[in-house]
């Protein structure tokens, strides 16, 4: 029986894991190597050893309603997209509200996590930690690793001949970036067009002489501001859209999405993406299109090689007098504290059962939390993982036999190993993954049942944003405030915007009941189709479950 649980890391996953342990009557002990909570979201000016943190200007890509803890909404006066300082403040509020801090040992590094000699029967782990130079050994019934996937910078110098032999300028990884001052008046080449690469190119364009942005990928650029000014993820991440994604042929859905993306600006004209592209990534950046339009950022193809002062690109063009090369090439995850026999079980998150459990272990007492790439908030994913895992540790939830877990892993594992530059292509559907874990944990709401018992709530869940509160309506950890949180989510979205009152007699808030009535036949039709064609055991990977 699991009682004592070691939690490694006090970022988002660590806080959710501590809370999950307490909810299940377990005894968590969290080891955090720094002096505070927050993980990568705790910004510091100093380069603190190998610690990874966000840059000074970063703002979340997912809105507060779609990213918060499922039983603790963000304050209504917080803006919809949070700078790192406000997000860290929210984490502190959460930790204080649920009294999590007393379970955290700060400035304590986990040096090693090893199976005990009797692991095959006990499932216990030996954890060695170090605090102020003093080492201590602990015995735990289970371990939750919450160090995330931003661990070691991925710097593929071998893919860029000349960068470390001929090039006379400076090169660095985005982990070392804090603000623009060191780049003022320089010609900068940013390599990589993920969210970080796009952000840094835009920010540097304000002070640099010239910024070049090099990419090998087809990239669609989205804005956080969607139709009618609402947050993009709240408008688009809905169960209705998820259902259409499953129902309609993929070619039609791709056409619809590309047409929507191009309604803002034609990506082909900007050299970013083509509607014919089969592989592509999505990034969020409102300013990049204007920077490209104004010439303050120039898009370039992949770099072929570097000379002493220049970058030569694969299309044969050359940009001279490059002062700095900034690699926004992502991260790789490593778990140096885990014994080699355990690390060898997985080379990426797809080698883990549900991206959490190494299926080869004799006892399922090791869980990796937050090592997942989703099309929505990873914070929500980490919390759902923690709830399911702590339920398993407490004996409420069960895992299938190892053979079934291995079969599931092999079925979902990509046939080709991708490098971190391509992991955008490996992102999983937010709703599919969260629903899958929620089903395992017994906390996924049934829209069909709610249509009969609470139609207003059912329509809000199906047609409205898939906010985390939905997973607190039923099952273990049910929260009495979940229904109200769902029905008032748009009020909290608009609250921080209404700092100046404008008279608008065309307020459409009264049309909500009519919209519900019009939407009800669609919801019933969707329910009928699913009940008619869904087979027993049909899960989120096969299609949406209502």
Tens place of pLDDT for every residue, the chain, 546 residues? Answer: 789 999 999 999 999 999 999 999 999 999 999 999 999 999 998 887 678 999 999 999 999 999 999 999 999 999 999 999 999 999 999 999 999 999 999 999 999 999 999 999 999 999 999 999 999 999 999 999 999 888 899 999 999 999 999 999 999 999 999 999 999 999 999 999 999 999 999 999 999 999 999 999 999 999 999 989 999 999 999 999 999 999 999 999 999 999 999 999 999 999 999 998 888 899 999 999 999 999 999 999 999 999 999 999 999 999 999 999 999 999 988 899 999 999 888 766 678 999 999 999 999 999 999 999 999 999 999 999 999 999 999 999 999 999 999 999 998 877 655 555 555 445 899 999 999 999 999 999 999 999 999 999 999 999 999 999 999 999 999 999 999 999 999 999 999 999 998 887 655 444 555 555 555 565 555 555 544 444 434 443 445 556
pLDDT, position 192? 96
For residue 339, the enclosing domain spans 4-151+333-412
pLDDT, position 277? 82
Judge whether 436 lies within some domain: no
DSSP secondary structure string, 451-500?
HHH-HHHHHHHHHSB--GGGGGSSSTT--TTHHHHHHTHHHHHHGGG-SS
Q: How far apart are CA 66 and CA 478, in angstroms?
A: 18
Judge whether 28 lies within some domain: yes
Q: List the one residue out of 398, 429, 440 whose CA is nearest residue 537.
A: 440
Number of structural domains in the chain: 2
**Based on the domain organization, do 48 and 83 belong to the same domain?**
yes
Judge whether 419 lies within some domain: no
- Which of 412, 439, 461 marks a domain boundary? 412
pLDDT, position 149? 83
**Based on the domain organization, do 116 and 207 belong to the same domain?**
no
**Based on the domain organization, do 186 and 313 belong to the same domain?**
yes
- Which of 353, 388, 412 marks a domain boundary? 412
* Two structure tokens written together for 517: 């009535």
**Based on the domain organization, do 230 and 300 belong to the same domain?**
yes
**Based on the domain organization, do 307 and 167 belong to the same domain?**
yes
**Based on the domain organization, do 133 and 33 belong to the same domain?**
yes
**Based on the domain organization, do 25 and 167 belong to the same domain?**
no
pLDDT, position 507? 52
pLDDT, position 48? 73
Judge whether 134 lies within some domain: yes
Question: Does residue 214 contact residue 473 with C-beta atoms inside 8 Å?
Answer: no
**Based on the domain organization, do 309 and 350 belong to the same domain?**
no
Regarding pTM above 0.85, the answer is yes
**Based on the domain organization, do 165 and 299 belong to the same domain?**
yes
**Based on the domain organization, do 369 and 313 belong to the same domain?**
no
Q: List the one residue out of 73, 154, 143 whose CA is nearest residue 333.
A: 154
pLDDT, position 545? 57
**Based on the domain organization, do 17 and 128 belong to the same domain?**
yes
- Which of 329, 344, 364 marks a domain boundary? 329
Q: What is the CATH number of the domain that holds 50?
A: 3.50.50.60
Give 299: exposed, middle or buried? Use CB within 10 Å, 0-12, 13-18, 19+: middle
Judge whether 466 lies within some domain: no
pLDDT, position 405? 95
Q: How far apart are CA 470 and CA 272, in angstroms?
A: 36
Judge whether 525 lies within some domain: no
**Based on the domain organization, do 101 and 239 belong to the same domain?**
no
pLDDT, position 538? 40
Q: How far apart are CA 7 and CA 103, in angstroms?
A: 10
């Amino acid at each position: 029986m699991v009682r004592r649980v070691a939690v490694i890391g006090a970022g988002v996953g660590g806080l959710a894991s501590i809370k999950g342990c307490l909810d299940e009557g377990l005894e968590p002990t969290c080891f955090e190597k720094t002096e505070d909570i927050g993980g990568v979201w705790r910004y510091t000016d100093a380069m603190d050893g190998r610690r990874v943190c966000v840059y000074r200007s970063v703002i979340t890509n997912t809105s507060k309603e779609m990213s918060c803890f499922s039983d603790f909404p963000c304050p209504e006066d917080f803006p919809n997209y949070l700078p790192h300082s406000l997000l860290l403040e929210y984490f502190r509020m959460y930790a204080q509200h649920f009294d999590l801090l007393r379970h955290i040992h700060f400035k304590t590094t986990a040096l090693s996590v090893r199976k005990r000699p009797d692991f095959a029967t006990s499932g216990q782990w030996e954890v060695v930690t170090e605090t102020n130079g003093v080492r201590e050994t602990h015995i735990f019934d289970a371990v939750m690793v919450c160090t995330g996937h931003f661990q070691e910078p991925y710097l593929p110098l071998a893919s860029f001949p000349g960068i470390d032999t001929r090039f006379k300028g400076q090169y660095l990884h985005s982990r070392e970036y804090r603000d623009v001052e060191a780049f003022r008046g320089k010609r900068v080449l940013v390599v990589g067009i993920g969210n970080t690469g796009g952000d840094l190119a835009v920010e540097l364009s304000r002070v640099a002489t010239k910024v070049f942005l090099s990419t090998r990928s087809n990239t669609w650029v989205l804005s956080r501001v969607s139709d009618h000014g609402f947050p993009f993820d709240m408008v688009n991440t809905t169960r209705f859209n998820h259902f259409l994604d499953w129902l309609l042929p993929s070619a039609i859905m791709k056409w619809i999405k590309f047409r929507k993306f191009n309604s803002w600006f034609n990506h082909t004209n900007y050299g970013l993406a083509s509607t014919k592209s089969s592989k592509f990534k999505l990034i969020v950046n409102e300013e990049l299109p204007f920077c490209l339009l104004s010439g303050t950022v120039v898009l370039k193809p992949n770099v072929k090689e570097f000379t002493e002062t220049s970058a030569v690109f694969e299309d044969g063009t050359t940009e001279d007098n490059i002062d700095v090369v900034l690699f926004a090439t992502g991260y790789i995850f490593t778990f140096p504290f885990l014994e080699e026999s355990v690390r060898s079980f997985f080379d990426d998150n797809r080698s883990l059962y549900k991206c959490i459990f190494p299926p080869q272990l004799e006892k399922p007492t090791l869980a990796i939390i937050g090592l997942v790439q989703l099309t929505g908030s990873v914070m929500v994913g980490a919390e759902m993982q923690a709830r399911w895992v702590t339920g398993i540790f407490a004996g409420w939830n069960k895992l299938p036999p190892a053979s079934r877990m291995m079969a599931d892993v092999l079925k979902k594992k990509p046939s080709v190993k991708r490098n971190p530059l391509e992991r955008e292509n490996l992102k999983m559907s937010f709703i599919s993954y969260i629903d899958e874990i929620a089903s395992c944990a017994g906390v996924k709401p049934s829209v069909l049942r709610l249509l009969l018992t609470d139609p207003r709530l059912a329509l809000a869940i199906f047609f409205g944003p898939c906010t985390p509160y939905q997973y607190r309506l039923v099952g273990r950890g049910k929260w009495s405030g979940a229904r109200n949180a769902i029905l008032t989510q748009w009020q909290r979205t608009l609250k921080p915007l209404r700092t100046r009152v404008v008279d608008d007699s065309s307020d459409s808030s009264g049309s909500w009941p009519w919209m519900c009535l019009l939407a009800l036949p669609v919801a019933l039709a969707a329910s009928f189709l699913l009940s008619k064609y869904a087979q027993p055991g049909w899960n989120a990977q096969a299609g949406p479950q209502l």
